Structure 1
Amino acid sequence: MTSWLECFSVLLLAGTVLAAAPTCKKINDCACTPTDANQTGVINFFPMVSSNGAKPAYMVNGTSKQTKNAYTFYYNPCMSFNMTSSTPDQCTNQLICQELMPSKWTYALGAHTSVSFAYVNNMLIAYYYSKSTNNRTSEVRLICDENETHGKFVYVDEPKSLYYQFNFTSMCACPGKCPNKTLVPDKWIETNRCLYRQMTSGKLVNLQGLATPLKVATNEHTTYYYSPCNGLELGSLDEKCKDAAVCKQDMSTSPPTYTGIGSEKVEVTEDDGDIVLHYPATTDGGKCFDVKLICDQSADDPILTSADDKNMILKAKVACSQ
């Protein structure tokens, strides 16, 4: 027979309702929506990203308690970037990277699309996973400060091997407090090698009309060739430029040297409303390369110009979105 004390205990436990732990529903790599009814608005770090999505917005130095090595850490909250070095675990398509000093070897700390959000002791944390050979992980504590308009990135610790902790203090860690409360980037995706579509709006940019390779000289020795759709198959270029979207021809050497760029999948971002095609660095000693598309309905003949040896501007009718 069940005693009254046992009945009371059962009723007490049954009547206790544990409050659901707060969560932040992921929208994309840099935005989530808190489920806590006391927090209204999106937590969105897109205004904190570098104006050049391929270049990290934040850099901080730190020394590991595990290895005693000195590092420089790079962070871009929303858009991936690339860094090259001789290490097998290169920083490619990452949101966080680690650079060993003074050798400048780089390591991936947080891959694009790997981000997850969770509350721990009422602190919102973004977790980044490198998806690399050593599976490095980064933990970024998102600290709300409405007076911090730029954002402050601080290295905290390496509590265990290959696990890194940071603080990121920003007004954008406060729900609905960023300068543009509704700004969640409408991501561009590459449909094929030269057709780009915006996921939400459905806008298209089609470069298929660029059948003939374009070229531009940055100085008397260097010429860049650009063919976004079909790759370069110019007879005067060697094997390193086969199937590349961009090829650098250097006439200062004898014989001339060639570097292929953009053989990997292109990344599409926006810069003040203009579409930017970012071509990652290749593994044969190449470098990253950006082409900004400027819509010009009067430019029947595309015009490729040089901003510097890593940034080109393509003004063309085919650069206009449809």
Structure 2
Amino acid sequence: MDFSPRILLVQLASALMLLTLREAEAICRPVSPCKCQDEETGKYIDLTGLANTDGEAAFTTTENSGQLINTFEYNPCLSFSTNSSSCSDVALCELNGLTGDQYALGYQQGAEFTVFPGNPEQLAVRYKYESSTSPREAYVALTCNPDVRVPLFSYISEGPPGTFYFNLTSACACPGGCADAPMRCDELLGGRNCSCALRNTSGEFLGLVDILSLNDPYNPLGVNVNNNQHIHFNPCSDMEHVRFFPNQCNGMTVCLANGDRAIDYGRGFTGKFTGNLQADAVLMYTSADGNRSTEITLVCDQDQRHSPRLILAAPVTDAMIQLEMRTVCACPGGCEQPQVTCQPQSDDCTCKLSQDLGSFTLSDLNNPEAPLHAVGPDLIDYYYNPCSNMSITGPNGFCRNVSGCKVNHPSNTDYAMGIQSGVSFRVSNYDPNIVTLMYTGGSQSKTFQVEARCNRNPDELVFRFLRAVPSSTAENAVYYFYLESDHVCPRP
């Protein structure tokens, strides 16, 4: 029997590795390199859904040591490649901030659940890069936090040289915290990006997620980033007539107010629902120029019954804002309620609200000789008369017997935006105090909408142009207006 020091060292290392694996199995029995079964609860810890599937890394973190910044990229379960042959089909890669060189720290092949060195109670995944000259290995500690919907990946240390330590905090690191594929939330027809049907991966309906009751474009939700930056967000529709500074946030659904600047991080009409691994609905918005986006995870919280709690989930970047909105309305069926409807009456100016809530009418504002007037950008005048058609003297004479008219002074043109006949009504936000009127038709087949909001103050009458989508110069533009008055409040 050979008792040479070299053989003894190899045997000792093998014994220690076997002991480590047995310790890991005592915590979580491996099922695959991405999934293990918790011995205490019998539930699975599954990292599958955290993996990026497009060939790029899911997570990036940095190490700051003096003026040197090294960057580390990581993708659990599936290999990724960078622009360097040194990091091709890897699990982890290091980019040296001084030289620009890249180094593979480990591959998916051979990845294994183990315990984190120095902490036998901490589960980790170990990755290896085999080399005769410079072998490397990396340990990723899996830290369970059921409240972390957006996973956090961070660098811990290196030592001895070639051995790297990281931490991944996620609900997916908890037993039963994540499924092996994301849920989905299918937007409902006419849901205004505010309600969706949550389904599991088998398509089974779990319930309706409905946040329409949180929509208030005049008093949006907010969260501080720092002393100079504040995020404003309104579910379901763009902010309008907002009573805070800067008012440049008007027309945006997600806005980063930075001093006296307002940066667009999402418009309401771009909203799309998805789902995540924790059975949450996720709402995505994109800025008008397509360069920035916002991801909002809707977290079911039975304690947030009166007002939602908005949380910054990750540092703000030039391209992305990640938020959590905790509310009972994110629970399937939590805020589901009967839709209030408004049945048009014979005068095309009045509708009867369902659930015995009274009637809505604009008859008091009908004045074709002196219609409502708003001024938009670029010296464009807009005229609107509810209940009956009007005629506006314009350069081309198109605004005859219409409900809405646009007069473009710079181009010396006028446009009929819609006629009174066939107006439709929609109750916004399940709130009988907010009704949207939609007009179309006329000689030029334009479309415009007026959101009428009840204001019990008899001395206030507001009519303003909001926006044109996609733009006021587009042939197929839809024009949006805002009307606020005591004359539009529901009547018995």
Q: TM (normalized to structure 2)?
A: 0.37
Give, in whole Å, the separation in 1 of the partners of 2:332 and 2:220.
Answer: 21
CA distance in 2, matches of 1:187, 1:166: 35
Q: Is the 8 A contact 1:292 1:314 kept in 2?
A: no
User: 1:57: how far off?
Assistant: 3.2
Aligned to 1:168: 325
Q: 2:251: which partner in 1?
A: 93
Shift of 1:159: 5.5
> What is the CA–CA distance in structure 2 between the aligned matches of 1:162 and 1:211, rounded to whole Å?
48
Taking CA–CA contacts closer than 8 Å with sequence separation of 6 or more, which of the two structures ends up with the larger relative contact order? 1
Distance 2:289 2:187 in 1: 26
The Cα shift of 1:42 comes to 0.4
Unaligned runs of 5+ in 2: 1-178, 243-247, 353-358, 373-381, 394-403, 408-416, 419-425, 438-449, 464-483
Name the structure 1 match of 2:19.
none
Match of 1:220 in 2: none
Distance 1:273 1:233, change over 3 A: same
Residues 227-253 of structure 1: CA deviation (Å, up to 9, x unaligned) = 43678969xxxxxxx9679xxxxxxxx
Whether contact under 8 Å (2:181, 2:277) holds in the other structure is no
Does structure 2 conserve the Cα–Cα contact (< 8 Å) formed by 1:187 and 1:269? no
Take 2:205 and 2:185, find their aligned partners in 1: how far apart are those partners? 10
Give the 5 Å matches for 1:15-26: 21-26=182-187
Is the contact between residue 196 and residue 208 of structure 2 (CA under 8 Å) also seen in structure 1?
yes
What is the distance in 1 between the residues matched to 2:219 and 2:313? 19
- Counterpart mapping for 1:239-318 below 5 A: 269=428, 272-276=431-435, 291-292=452-453, 305-307=458-460, 311-314=484-487
Which whole-Å CA distance do the structure 1 matches of 2:334 and 2:458 have between them? 39
Q: Give the Å deviation of 1:72.
A: 1.4
CA RMSD of aligned residues (A): 5.0
Unaligned runs of 5+ in 1: 1-17, 64-68, 85-89, 189-193, 216-224, 235-241, 246-263, 279-288, 295-303
Partners in 1 of 2:405 and 2:207 — Cα distance?
46
SS at match of 2:266: strand
Q: Compared with structure 1, are the counterparts of its residues 270 and 141 closer, same or farther at alpha carbon in structure 2 (3 Å cutoff)?
A: closer
Partner residue, 1:61: 224
Larger radius of gyration: 2
Q: Kindly provide the amino acid, as one letter, of the partner of residue 76 in structure 1.
A: N
Q: Note the C-alpha offset of 1:136.
A: 1.6
Secondary structure at 2:219 match in 1: coil
- How many Å separate the matches in 1 of 2:197 and 2:237? 19
User: How many Å apart are 1:195 and its aligned residue?
Assistant: 7.4
How is 1:85-124 mapped onto 2 (pairs within 5 angstroms)?
91-101=249-259, 103=260, 105-122=261-278, 123-124=280-281
Correspondence for 1:182 among 316, 337, 342:
337
Secondary structure in 1 matching 2:269: coil
Instruction: Render the CA deviation track for 1:44-91: whole Å, top value 9, x for unaligned.
Output: 0112223xxx3133111114xxxxx8321111112322369xxxxx54
Check if 1:48 corresponds to 2:214: yes
- SS in structure 1 at match of 2:213: helix
SS at match of 1:113: helix
Does the CA contact (< 8 Å) of 1:291 and 1:314 recur in 2? no
Shift in alpha-carbon separation, 1:187–1:121, aligned structure 2, 3 A? farther
> How big is the shift at 1:171?
0.7
1:147 is matched with 303
User: Is the Cα contact below 8 Å between 1:58 and 1:74 reproduced in 2?
Assistant: yes
Give the Å deviation of 1:100: 1.2
Give 1:33 deviation, angstroms: 0.4
- Match of 1:24, SS state, is strand
From 32, 43, 48, the counterpart of 2:196: 32
Q: What SS does the aligned partner of 2:459 have?
A: strand
Tell me if the contact between 1:39 and 1:175 (Cα under 8 Å) persists in the aligned partners. no
1:80-107 Cα distance to aligned partner (Å, 9 max, x none): 22369xxxxx545332222112x2x212
- 1:76 paired to 2:234: yes
Secondary structure at the counterpart of residue 81 of structure 1:
coil
Residues 107 and 276 of structure 1: CA distance in aligned 2, closer, same or farther (over 3 Å):
farther
Report the CA distance shift for 1:30/1:186 in structure 2 as closer, same or farther (over 3 A).
farther
Please state how far the C-alpha of 1:120 moved relative to its aligned partner: 2.9
CA contact 2:298–2:324 (8 Å) conserved in 1: yes
Q: Which residue of 2 is the match for residue 237 of structure 1?
A: none
Distance 1:141 1:148 in 2: 15
* 2:156 is the alignment partner of 1:156: no
Amino acid paired to 2:370 = P
SS in 2 for 1:47: helix
Separation in 2 of the partners of 1:173 and 1:140? 11
| Structure 1 contact 43–175 (Cα < 8 Å) conserved | yes
Instruction: State TM-score, norm by structure 1.
Output: 0.53
Secondary structure at 2:333's aligned position in 1? coil
Question: Does the aligned pair in 1 maintain the 2:228–2:258 contact within 8 Å?
Answer: yes
Equivalent runs, 1:119-130 vs 2, <5 Å: 119-122=275-278, 123-130=280-287
Q: Give the distance between the partners of 2:186 and 2:271, measured in 1 at CA.
A: 12
**1:45–1:172 CA contact under 8 A, matched in 2:** yes
* Alpha-carbon distance, 1:206 to partner: 7.8
- Alignment correspondent of 1:257: none
Checking the alignment, whether the CA contact within 8 Å between 1:26 and 1:33 is kept in structure 2 is: yes
Alignment partners' CA distance in 2, 1:99 and 1:82: 15
Evaluate the alpha carbon distance shift between residue 308 and residue 70 of structure 1 in structure 2; reply closer, same or farther with a 3 A threshold.
same
Q: Which amino acid aligns with 2:199?
A: T
Aligned equivalents of 1:292 and 1:212: distance in 2? 23
**Cα shift readout 1:89-141 (whole Å, capped 9, x = no counterpart):** x545332222112x2x21222212211122233343211112x2362200111
* TM-aligned CA deviation for residue 165 of structure 1: 0.7
- The Cα shift of 1:212 comes to 2.5
